[in-house]
Structure 1
Amino acid sequence: MNDGAVPTIKVTVLESEPQPELWYITKKMLLNKRLLKDVGKLSPHQQTSALEAFHSVILRFTLKSVVFMFISMLCRLDLAGMLFNENADREQATTLEDTPVYYVMYPKSKKGQRIVKPKKTEPTFGYISYLVTLLFTEVFDNPEVFVEELRNVPIPEDLSAQCDEPSKEELVAWRHVSMFNPVVAGSQRSSDQHQETPGESSGQHMQE
């Protein structure tokens, strides 16, 4: 017996042609409708609760009713991420007797049936102290470095710039197109050109 020696395991691979019967059985098992339906339900609601919680934090910093510039949106998303990361792993609150605390809620998925959920400890906001300290100790002393980094942030173009912008006349023509009154934009523009304006017609009558 060799002390401290690592035993060597020899693996022999048998080269054989795949058997049609085994392949058919495996395919039938993997493509079973019941199995495919169960695979689609492997992600329970508990796995997406953290993502939904992060989305609710984002909505606190970026309201849907307000339009933000790209840099402003980026800064607000960073603040939301810092707040969420600091309070993501909060423990369950307890009483003075170390009894776990729960609260009652009525989720829509339960159709009015009430359930209990563990109550977390109060959130903390230590990231604010960190940002204030960074602001007074580094940013105020040398703001050019931070301004230069902010200018180097790549700003993508607007989504509207990626699409073709039709003219105002084309938009007006398309507005009147419906399934009951189909009008081609080109024919609409050509008919507008041949139609006389009130100013021109009145001028012709005055000349006559």
Structure 2
Amino acid sequence: MGQDLAPLSSACVFCGSSDLADPQLLADAAQLGRDLAAAKLKLIYGGGGVGLMGACAIAAHEAGGEVLGIIPHFLKVRERRLDVVETIVVSSMHERKQIMFERSDSFIVLPGGIGTLEEIVELLSWRRLDLHAKPVVFYSPNGFWEPLYALFKHTVDNKLTPAEFMDSWISVDRVADIIPALSGVRPTEPIPESVVASMT
């Protein structure tokens, strides 16, 4: 991936919308929101005020960051549309995902359920088809996404997916590593001073 952080101006966050999520995951999502604001990366997200996505958006907004939500009209009540941030109301899930993709320079995947899985599989499929080369970072605390990675590897081992697909994302297990990873800095590498400086 290897992009510098400087050209990036926005990050789309895919994550769970359940308020029943582990409180630590909700706290992690809020910390990411504050980190995005500090890095001056506009948060693009699903427009709701619930679950991890709500925690991330509210924290980013309260920290002075730019936030754009995109929500289908039929989810405005169920996902409690967050009216304190700029929000685009669309007619379908497809339109929501398309705008999220078009408005974002990079993507962050936090723990989530079936809806998050649907979003990220499409995102990675588009990357497999060379429709984009935007950086994708998974936050995988306690190995949350390891079963998904194993499934991807299973398709590679069976020669149904090219081996290079496994390089389509970076996985980190600390919130502090998410934004540096957007520039291609893997968590086992020291973070260059230029990257650290650009986040302050």
- Superposition TM-score, scaled by structure 2 size: 0.18
Greater percentage in strand: 2
Structure with bigger RCO (C-alpha 8 Å, 6+ apart):
2
- Superposition TM-score, scaled by structure 1 size: 0.18
Greater percentage in helix: 1
The structure number with the bigger radius of gyration is 1
